[in-house]
Structures are given as C-alpha cells and as structure tokens.
Structure 1
Amino acid sequence: MPSRTPGGRTQSLSRGGFFKGLSDRNWRKVFFVNTRAAAARILSSYNHQYFNYDRKISDTAAQLKLSQKDQDFLYILVKGVILYRAYLDYVIQMVLHASIDKLENVVLNLLRVGVFQYLILETPRYAVTNETVKAAKSLKIFSAVGLINAALRHLPSREIVDKQLEQLAQNEALAIRESHPRWLIDRWIKQYGLKNTKQIASFNNSYQTIYFRHNPVKTDWDSLKSKTVEMGLEINIEAVEPIVFFSVNKPGLLLKSELFGEGFFSVQDISQSPAVRLLDPHKEEIIIDACAAPGGKTGFIAQMTGATKGIYAYDISPGKIKMLQNEAFRLGIDFVNYDVADAGTDTFPAADKILLDVPCSGTGVLARRADLRWNRKEEDIDKLVEKQRQILDNMVKYLNPGGVIVYSTCSIEPEENQGNIDWFLKKHPSFEIDAASRFVENKWCDESGAVRILPHIHQKTGSFAVRLLNKGK
C-alpha cells in the first residue's frame, strides 16, 4: 500500500507515492461524473489480456471531449484502480460482508473507483458517495444505486483496514496490502525472502521516473539539451555512453512538445538498455533483433551503428511490425529491414549478432505495467520458459561462428533467466558467457557474468541480460 511516514502513518499516494506531485485538493475540483463513469467503463472493458489503458483513456477522452486536466484525472483513476485492485476489493468485501464475485462488473468498478478516491486520494466521503451515485445513474444502473450509496457511506478508515489485515496470515496480508497476486508474493518470498519481497512489492507501487534516450540520428545532444532547457525543464543525465539517457522534472510536457514529434528522443527505461550495450553492435555486422516489439532496442541498435543495411527486425505480430516502422519513421531511421516472423519456428538469414529479447512474464516491470500483475498466472511461467527455450534453440541455428547472442528479459523469475542460460549452455557447449562487466557498469552485473537488475537492490525496474559467445568454428 502507500508509503509510510517515520511515525507509521500511511501517506496518500499524492504525497510521495505512486502519483507523485498530485494535490488532493486540486483534484477534488475536477471530480466530474463523466470522468468517474468513464473510468468505470474503461475498467469494465479490461479483459485480463494485454490491456492498453493509455490508448483506452486517450480514445475515451477524445470521444467525451475531456479537457487535459480531466484526461489526466481519468488516467489516475484507471491506473490507480488497476494498481490497487486487491486492496480495494478487500475493503469492498469488508463493507458488503460478502464476496464481490456476483457483482456486475461495472458496479464493482464504480465501487473500486469510489474506494480508491476515499482511501488513496483522500477525497471527502460525501463527495465520493454523491458523485459515484450520480455516475451510476448516468450509466443507467439504477438497481445498484442503493448498494453503492450504502457501501460508500460505510467505508472504514485506513487504520481500521490495517487492523483487519493484521488478523490475516502474513503472506495474505502482504498480498492485499501491496496489491499483488498471492501466488506471486508466495513465489518471491521463497526466492528472495520476506524482507526483500516487501521491498519489491513496495517498489512496484511507487512513482517511476520516465527516462528518455537521445536520438543522434536527428540531432546532437547539445542541441537537444539546449532546446529542452529553453522549455524551462530541468535535465538529469542518467548515462552518457554510448548514447545519452536523461530524465526531466516535467516529462509530460516534454512528451507533448515538438521535440518528441520531430524524433529527437525516445522513451526507454534505463534498466532495459544494457541488453543492447552487451550486443555491442557495429556497422559492418549482420544483426538480428528477433523479438523486436515494441522497438526500443531496435532503435538503440540502429543509433549505435548508424546507417547500414545489416539490421533485421522481426516480430510475430504484423500490427507490431507496423508500429515499429512508424516509430522508426519518427526517429529518421530508414535503414532497418522489418518483417513478420516467429523466432521460435521460422527461418532467418545468417547473422553475426542476435538479440533475443524474449516474451516473458514481465515481473520486473510491474511498476510500469500495473495490469501485468493481474494478467499473469503461476502456470504461465512454465509455458513461457518452454517458449523461450524454443526461441533459443531455433535462433542459434542462424548465428555465424564466433557470433554473439544476447538473451534478455524484463522478468525477475530465475527459471526465465539463469535457469534458461544453464539449460542452453549444457545443450550448446560451444557457447560461453562473455562477462557483462566488459560492456556495462559493475553495479548491474552478477557473479555469473550476466546483467541482473533487481528492484529492491537497484531501485530500477527489473531486467536480465547475458552475452553468449559462440566459440565454435
């Protein structure tokens, strides 16, 4: 749940937690019925598969002609409810004294929105109750008005909820308080211990800095830096080699600027950059990015090599390939070869270097992908490991002697990371790990020679990457 002050009081998310910089009083002025109802409708369309709530919010805001302030608030409601769903559902069940399973989806989501505003955003109870009831009426769910009204009028304080949670088993209480699936909490406690699991879960509910990668294809760094400062933004440089990564104090403003439209920079999490640095791409090489979507690493490779005809980017989804091409056009990268292909089964050209940023559970990036924690099931891990090994086994056939494979994930699950590497090295003895410390800072490297970034240690989203060198002739 939200961060705590030294005195133990739970802080609202608006004061130092996930929604950093949010003023509760300011947002109380924009609790319009259509925004609350829109949030419930978006949440009710959530189908437990890939849920692009950013696009849903943008489309809904355009349809309703919401102001930017209302659209921002809609984003807060939708992401906040997804993020804190387990905690919100626990509170709703406390009030109803019954399971929520039989509630109509839109009714449940209206209740979630109301509880989120009251307990997390600290909106006054009367405002939450009155406006949520109005939202229910606007959605024409009149039969639920009485239930919604009664439930929200009897919401407990956070202190009472905390006392109730103390009566539960340790793992169950942690899963609810930090709003993570119980199976994932159990898994992490076995792997990382209770203390570290608490830190990982807390990190996943915290505000995350948005990182940008300079695009040298379009402009030099000094020019981009100067134009950014002229906008009144404060720059913090995170890395300078081989390309500058930076953050600013008002990322939303930069993303809406002409600088973004002109392709002067990309958005990329800094913890995802070591995979490309391990690849160490050069202009004269044939390079394959076999699982290229969403395209950040492909762009990074192209920026490091400069203009060349030797970069091939593939993805199994035609829609994602189109997205990659659109992003490349924005960045002025017109020399990458794109095609639809399945890295686990299809045929590829021979390559000197292959990047395998494989499909994974994404448990390292739950801080940025709030929906993923509810999309995944424990049995998915074994299925993903099978797919990852299939990709490794297929793509190794297309690597030239002396070539390099970089295997990477945004997972913190050992089976998807070191477990797969141990399996691969045993099956393909001509390969060895090429120490990551030769290419990236020691702080990111583990004793096996891989990059292993963990949220509770590095305060960054989790990732894993390893450079595999083919010694065969």
Structure 2
Amino acid sequence: MSKPPFKTKNKKTGPEPQETRDKPGFAARKVAADILGNVVHKKRPLDGELDVASGHSGFQALAGNDRALVRAIVGAALRHRGEIAEVLNRLLDRDIPEKTGRILDILHVAIAQMLFLDIPDRASVSLAVDHAGTDRRAKPYKGLVNGVLRRLGREHDEIVADLDPLLLNTPDWLMESWTTAYGAETARKIAAAHADGAALDLTVKSDPETWAERLDGQVVGFGSVRLPRKTVVETLEGFEAGDWWVQDAAAALPARLLGDISGKKVADLCAAPGGKTAQLAVAGAEVTAVDISSGRLKRLSQNMDRLGLSVVTVTSDLRSYEPEELFDAVLLDAPCSATGTIRRHPDVPWIKKPYDIEKLTEIQSSLLDRAIDWVKPGGMIIYCTCSLEAAEGEAQAGAFLARHEGKVALKPVAAAEIGGLDMCVTRDGYLRCLPGHPVTLDGETIGMDGFFAARFVRS
C-alpha cells in the first residue's frame, strides 16, 4: 500500500473549531502536544511545565483526571521518543518542514497513545486530526495526520517488528558515553531500566521495617521503603505527621557516608529540595542548607516544617559564599546533567547535550575547590551527582585529588556502609549506583537512580 501523499487539500471539513474544542479529551491532547513541544524544542524541563501552580497555563486549567492523562501521554511520548520518530520515518515519504513542527508534536502525542497507552486507536486518531484542523500551521497537513495514523493502525505489527527500543530511545551521545564507561551490555541495561520508569521510594525517620509493613512496601537500599505502585503521597499514612519523605534509594546513600554526625556542624550545599538536608538533621547534625534559589529554599523550608526539623537556610551562590565558621563536614550535591534520573525524568535525554556536560564539569570543579576550604582539618567532604557521566563523577573526583594532593585524601567507601550493596562500590572506593543495579541483597528487586559519590578527608 502506498504511503499517504505529503500534500493534502486544505478544505474545511468536520465540526466548527469551537465544537471541536469542546470534545471530551481534546483539551488534554492539545495541552500534551503543547508541553511536548515546549520540552523538545524549547528545552523547558518537564517538571516545570507540569507544575500545577506555575506551569503550563492550559495544564493548570484542566481537571485532575485530564492532568493525569497529560502526564501519561507526555511521559510515554518522551520515554519512547526515538521509537516514535523511527515509526514516523517509516510512515512518511519525506521529512515534515521545520516550521510545521507542530504537526510532529501532534503525531508524537497520537502515536504515544496508539503504541504505549491503553487508549483506543480511533480516539487517538480522531482527536489528532481535530487538533490539526484547529491549528493554523498544522491545518494544511490535516489529511496527512489522518493518513499516517490510520496506516499505523492497519500495519502496526509490520512497522514496529524490527525496532530496537533501547538504542532508539537513547540519544547516540549518551549511549556512547555509557558504553565507554560501563561496557555495551551494561549500557543496554541502563537503557532498559529507563524504559521501566521509577518506583516510589521513601526515606523514613526510623524503623523502616515497620513502615514497609504499614505501607505495603519493602525495605530496599540501606533502609529506604519502596512502595509497590505510584500513589498520591499526600494521602499516605505518615505524610502529615512528617514521618518520611520521598527520596530515591540511591539518593539516600551519600549522606550516610558521613557516619555519626550527631552534634556536628554540617553544610548541605546545593541543598534543595532537601532530602539530604532532612537526613542530616534526623542524624542529629546542626545543618546549614545553602542554595542559590530562594524559591527552592522556600520549598525546602516547607518540607522541613512538615518533617518537624530545624535547619539554617542560606540563599547564596556558592562561588561567592563565605561561611562564618568552618564546618565539621560538607555535602556537595553539585549541579549536574541529571542523566541518572532519566527513569523519573524522561525529558532529560532530549533537553541535555554534550556541551552541557562540559559547562557543568567546570562549575563542579570550582565548587569543589571552594568547599575544601570550608571544612576543618580532619573534616569530611562528600561530593555527589545524580549523573551517569564519568566526567561528572570518577574523572571529576580524580582531578580534584590531583589538584589538591597533600591537602585532601580519598576515604574509600565500603559496601557495609551502604547496606552491603557491593555492586555500588567501585575498585577505587567510589559510590557508583546504576539504574540496573539491584537494591536488595537477594538481587530480586532492581532499579535505582544513577548516582555517584566520593568521600574525601581534609588533611
């Protein structure tokens, strides 16, 4: 069967635009396409677009069930973006002009529903065609949208038969980076973990076994509680009382590397949203939380209030920050590419580029060089990033040691310090968690954020 023609007649058909806009589900699909376009073309973070208080105006106006639908559609469209692009490549005779990028967003949203969500093809096709018909730039291609999507519905099995999702859904530069750092097999395991998405992990103030039983979860990592399914966290037991907070099992490990910090003065640098800040405070430290964003620190303070924890907050750029006194320990969760969080942030591969890594490594180096002078002799520095890139982890730590030879020494991490998760400890004594790593000693439960941490002691 021949492919649909690229040019179509620009003839007015179907219901009037207002009547179309009132169709059930239309508004949600339109908002999904808008948000997808903002993320992939304008490089806006998905979390910002989906913020119900300050995000996309159309998203804010939707009812709760439609917001959930938008999240599901955009999440699927981003998580499977490479697959969808290849499917379109097989369906189109030639590329759609850049100025009609709106058409690509509409098609990606429709195909995400048809291939990856439990939504009838008929509804996905119909609403996509309606959307094209109400958009000035997309309207000339309304027939193209209809033809492409109907053909996909008819020839689905043939079109997707030989796709390699793990390669297609990972930008080449990321797959090359992971293959170089970890080998081809592990790189594919990382990509597979990203496709599965992330579980909901909690860090509890105490007694994780009891909380796992109460919340029908399991203990993973080193005392985190993993819930079996996504849920509205505000409705869970213990939320209002401040008994726990949401934090990935891997993200909970770096703070534990400080050991006994009761009564010690500890700085949490780049602290927001405050998961590690809360860990340090619960452990009995006198915590100073520093972040460049006053808005993010305000949210951190709100989180501490809910948890009943007292910390000092300082709004400052670390490149100009000067503490009033030296700290016993410093935890620097440095700005990074966040490629370790792709399981929960599927926009990351499509808004980050290799040159971002270069810029970020410069910032990380400068912050480390400053932080070393804020620690008392004999004090510890934890450097960590939620990145899978060696340049932001192992290479950064090695360069720091070389620059400050004689002034700082590496204190290797032992598996016993992180619940026996020996796969997360490198030969050099760094913490290196990968998304495909097990989070239980029996190896049956898999999946955590990609995380790196190095522990240094000031001589």
TM-score interval w.r.t. the shorter chain?
A: 0.7 to 0.9
Instruction: State the shift of 1:32 in Å.
Output: 2.1
**Contact 1:212–1:247 at 8 Å: present in 2 too?**
yes
For 2:436, what is the secondary structure of its paired residue?
helix
Q: Aligned in 2, Cα 1:447/1:354: closer, same or farther, shift over 3 Å?
A: same
Paired residue type of 1:268: Q
The answer to whether the aligner puts 1:234 opposite 2:232 as a matched pair is no
Q: Aligned in 2, Cα 1:374/1:225: closer, same or farther, shift over 3 Å?
A: closer
Aligned partner of 1:284 in structure 2 is 263
Equivalent residue in structure 2 for 1:260, among 239, 248, 264: 239
For 1:401, what is the secondary structure of its paired residue?
strand
For 1:119, what is the secondary structure of its paired residue?
helix
Aligned partner of 1:175 in structure 2 is 167
TM-score, scaled to structure 2: 0.83
Instruction: State the shift of 1:89 in Å.
Output: 1.9
The answer to whether the aligner puts 1:441 opposite 2:419 as a matched pair is yes
Aligned partner of 1:193 in structure 2 is 183
Instruction: State the shift of 1:268 in Å.
Output: 0.2
**Contact 1:344–1:392 at 8 Å: present in 2 too?**
no
Instruction: State the shift of 1:235 in Å.
Output: 2.5
Give CA deviations for 1:267-320 in whole Å, capped at 9, x if unaligned: 000011111000225232111111112211111111111xx6x31111112221
Aligned partner of 1:468 in structure 2 is 456
Paired residue type of 1:342: D
For 2:239, what is the secondary structure of its paired residue?
helix
Equivalent residue in structure 2 for 1:80, among 57, 76, 79: 76
How far, CA to CA, are the matches of 2:24 and 2:192 in structure 1? 28
**Contact 1:37–1:138 at 8 Å: present in 2 too?**
no
**Contact 1:212–1:266 at 8 Å: present in 2 too?**
yes
Instruction: State the shift of 1:457 in Å.
Output: 3.8
User: Which structure 2 residues correspond to residues 334-373 of structure 1 after superposition, within 5 A?
Assistant: 335-348=310-323, 349-373=325-349
Equivalent residue in structure 1 for 2:142, among 141, 145, 164: 145
**Contact 1:345–1:391 at 8 Å: present in 2 too?**
no
**Contact 2:152–2:159 at 8 Å: present in 1 too?**
no
**Contact 2:338–2:387 at 8 Å: present in 1 too?**
yes
How far, CA to CA, are the matches of 1:327 and 1:317 in structure 2? 15
Instruction: State the shift of 1:100 in Å.
Output: 3.7
How far, CA to CA, are the matches of 2:64 and 2:328 in structure 1? 51
Paired residue type of 2:46: F
Aligned partner of 1:160 in structure 2 is 158
Q: Aligned in 2, Cα 1:104/1:259: closer, same or farther, shift over 3 Å?
A: farther
Paired residue type of 2:51: R
- What is the aligned-residue RMSD (CA, Å)? 2.7
**Contact 1:295–1:324 at 8 Å: present in 2 too?**
yes
Aligned partner of 1:453 in structure 2 is 433
User: Which structure 2 residues correspond to residues 313-324 of structure 1 after superposition, within 5 A?
Assistant: 313-324=289-300
Aligned partner of 2:376 in structure 1 is 400
Paired residue type of 2:216: E
Give CA deviations for 1:374-407 in whole Å, capped at 9, x if unaligned: 1111122222111111011011111111100011
For 2:397, what is the secondary structure of its paired residue?
helix
**Contact 1:39–1:78 at 8 Å: present in 2 too?**
yes
Q: Percent identity?
A: 27
How far, CA to CA, are the matches of 1:127 and 1:272 in structure 2? 40
Instruction: State the shift of 1:408 in Å.
Output: 0.7
For 1:406, what is the secondary structure of its paired residue?
strand
Deviates more, 1:258-267 or 1:448-457: 258-267
**Contact 2:413–2:425 at 8 Å: present in 1 too?**
yes
Gaps of 5+ in 2: 1-22, 439-446
For 1:203, what is the secondary structure of its paired residue?
helix
How far, CA to CA, are the matches of 2:385 and 2:393 in structure 1? 7
How far, CA to CA, are the matches of 1:50 and 1:67 in structure 2? 21
Paired residue type of 2:29: R
Q: Aligned in 2, Cα 1:102/1:126: closer, same or farther, shift over 3 Å?
A: same
Instruction: State the shift of 1:39 in Å.
Output: 1.1
Deviates more, 1:320-329 or 1:37-46: 37-46
Aligned partner of 1:24 in structure 2 is none
Give CA deviations for 1:83-117 in whole Å, capped at 9, x if unaligned: 22222122223222222452534322111111111
Gaps of 5+ in 1: 1-29, 167-172
For 1:407, what is the secondary structure of its paired residue?
strand
How far, CA to CA, are the matches of 1:237 and 1:196 in structure 2? 25
Instruction: State the shift of 1:139 in Å.
Output: 5.2
Q: Aligned in 2, Cα 1:104/1:445: closer, same or farther, shift over 3 Å?
A: same
For 1:155, what is the secondary structure of its paired residue?
helix
Q: Aligned in 2, Cα 1:31/1:207: closer, same or farther, shift over 3 Å?
A: farther
Aligned partner of 1:384 in structure 2 is 360
**Contact 1:34–1:135 at 8 Å: present in 2 too?**
no
